[in-house]
A and B are shown apart, each in its own frame.
Chain A
Amino acid sequence: MADWSEQHVRRLFWRAGFGATAEEAGVWAQRGRRATLDHVVDGPVEGRKLRGPAPRVDRRGLDPVNEWGDDVLWWLDQMLRTNYPLVERMTLFWHDHFATSDQDAPLMLRQNRMLRGHALGSFPALLRDVTHDPAMQLFLSLADSSKGAPNENYARELMELFTLGSGYGERDIRETARALTGFRSNWKDGRFGGIAFDREQHDGGVKRIFGRAGRFGVDDVIALVCDHPRHAPFLVAKLWSYFIAEPPSRETVRGLAATYRRSGLSIKPVVRAILEHPMLYRRLDAPDMVKWPVVYVAGAMRASRTFVTAGYPTWLLASMGQQLFHPPSVAGWDWGAAWLSSNSMKQRFTFGNHLIENGPAKVEKGSVKVTIGARGHYALAHAAVGSPQVSTHTREVLTHLAAGWFHDIPASWRAKAGWRAESLQRTLRHLLLTCPESQLC
């Protein structure tokens, strides 16, 4: 196997984005490993852009604030049209990591923009903005936590889920909750008027956190958790598991943690180190990561050059177990095999049906001749859904299916049996979109 092949490109583009087109796989295999990683991690030289037609559903543009489900379509559209998919993939990672749910649509969209802005930047800066974010503050009752009644929800999740995972005690949580008091949400006639810091409601006393004492406030708390020895290993291991299924070795975690610390807790260098890691390219012919529902959907749409023109992705994603902007809890979604429940798989098949009815993968009447042969039918279907990587076995099975498709029709009639060729195309396209290797990357 070559040191850098189309298969390497495809693996990287799926893990760090929403897949590669056949053209991208060819181009980046030629340009080599280093140039490809620069492109994927730093983004295209021309800067981050959206390409392709803006979304239109029911002859109108999207209204993500006021129309149900348009929030999901809006983000999906970003994923479909971006030329810098890693930013969307990382925004998705942070949406799961700092999972916030059940908040007003304008606040959720505002949080999403904030996460995108920090997607590959400084972790402490991200954490600072998350801590001040209205949707997060309202979700975990940090807003209106006062010195008289400090609420511990945010302090607890800050340590358990956001930064450390272990290496702290109940007392650290209590004292941190005191240090984070003083935020006050403002509302007027139901309308959100922002969150202000009210010194009167802040506990200005001495707190003891991780064995250090001081009159700590919010900025001190951010610094304390980021300086904690558990932070770097915790975060790099979670990032690793977003990109690579097999757990990292101790040395790998140590090395990544060192990279992360050396960069001053910057996210991009550690993500690059993971994306460069040989483990990411193991067994290129046997993918082992389950595509998240939205990655599956966005990837299939990107490959077949399908844009947002209908609302079906919103409710199908919800039934697949991933309603964007509504993670199931503060712990985010369950990853991996949990995405492949029998109901979720059924919805992925349904999605395949919608995709081949809406957009370029649709089989047009009169577009297919019976006489192109089994390989020709397979090749046509494969190209129509964006030339995905499939196993030899799947290719053989589908070609065999194509070969037997017209057996019941007398040879002399076949030239006129275009409708049968169309049903074969629909079947092959659907199976290519939903076959086992399409669910993995």
Chain B
Amino acid sequence: MHARTKGRLLAGAAVVAALAPAGGVASAARRAPSTAVGVGAREFRLTAYRVSVPAGIVRFNLANYGQDVHDLVVATAGGRRLARSVEVRPGGRTTLRLRLRPGSYRLVCDLADHAALGMHATIRVR
């Protein structure tokens, strides 16, 4: 378990508990037009369920299907880090929400050597 802020970040919650507040959080987030991108994390792979998204607010819905703790960092193609999620324990979820301009972005897990082991992906913003 890791410290987290407010109720928005559901990292440590059991699946059942994580689902309950998700509706409320998501409906608030959905008021501003945004695009959801499902992301699955496991050892050692990070899979984004969309190849490209329109520019604007993007919500990365991260689910940890693995046995270890993972997180999600969004960086520019050049490697500048834009946002980092909380650490998510196995079976947990969190949402990372940020505004993205057109371009190519890197998604990685920055815990230990997970990125080098394969936990990276790219997404295009058009």
Within 8 A of B (CB), among A174-189: 187, 189
Given A58-B30, A66-B38, check contact A318 B93 (CB 8 Å): no
Q: How far is the CA of A312 from the CA of B27 in the complex (A)?
A: 12
B61 within 8 A of A: yes
A190 touches B36 (CB 8 A): no
B37 within 8 A of A: yes
A339 to chain B, nearest CB (A): 15
B116 within 8 A of A: no
A190 touches B47 (CB 8 A): yes
B46 touches A190 (CB 8 A): yes
A315 touches B61 (CB 8 A): no
Tell me the nearest residue of chain A to B19, going by C-beta.
Answer: A315
How many contacting A-B pairs (Cβ < 8 A)? 82
B84 within 8 A of A: no
B49 touches A318 (CB 8 A): no
A68 touches B121 (CB 8 A): no
B121 touches A318 (CB 8 A): no
A314 within 8 A of B: yes
- Interface mask (A55-69 → B, CB under 8 Å = 1, otherwise 0): 000101001011111
Please give, as numbers and ranges, the residues of chain A lying within 8 Å of B49 by CB-CB distance.
65-66, 104-106
Q: How far is the CA of A189 from the CA of B115 in the complex (A)?
A: 11
One of A102, A189, A315 near B16 (C-beta < 8 A): A315
Q: How far is the CA of A190 from the CA of B119 in the complex (A)?
A: 7
B19 touches A190 (CB 8 A): no
Please give, as numbers and ranges, the residues of chain B lying within 8 Å of A67 by CB-CB distance.
26, 36, 38, 61
A57 to chain B, nearest CB (A): 8
Q: How far is the CA of A32 from the CA of B61 in the complex (A)?
A: 51
Please give, as numbers and ranges, the residues of chain A lying within 8 Å of B48 by CB-CB distance.
190-191
Please give, as numbers and ranges, the residues of chain B lying within 8 Å of A310 by CB-CB distance.
23
A311 within 8 A of B: yes
A323 touches B15 (CB 8 A): yes
Within 8 A of B (CB), among A83-117: 102-106
One of A58, A191, A319 near B47 (C-beta < 8 A): A191
Within 8 A of B (CB), among A306-355: 310-312, 314-315, 318-319, 323, 326
A315 touches B23 (CB 8 A): yes
B74 within 8 A of A: no
A68 touches B40 (CB 8 A): no
One of A105, A189, A319 near B121 (C-beta < 8 A): A189
B94 to chain A, nearest CB (A): 10
Q: How far is the CA of A190 from the CA of B19 in the complex (A)?
A: 25
B37 touches A314 (CB 8 A): no
B26 touches A68 (CB 8 A): yes
B23 touches A105 (CB 8 A): no
* 3 cross-chain pairs, A with B, having the tightest CB-CB distances, nearest first: A190-B121, A315-B19, A311-B23
Q: List 11 A-B contacts (CB under 8 A).
A: A66-B38, A66-B49, A66-B61, A104-B40, A105-B40, A187-B118, A190-B47, A190-B107, A191-B51, A315-B20, A319-B20
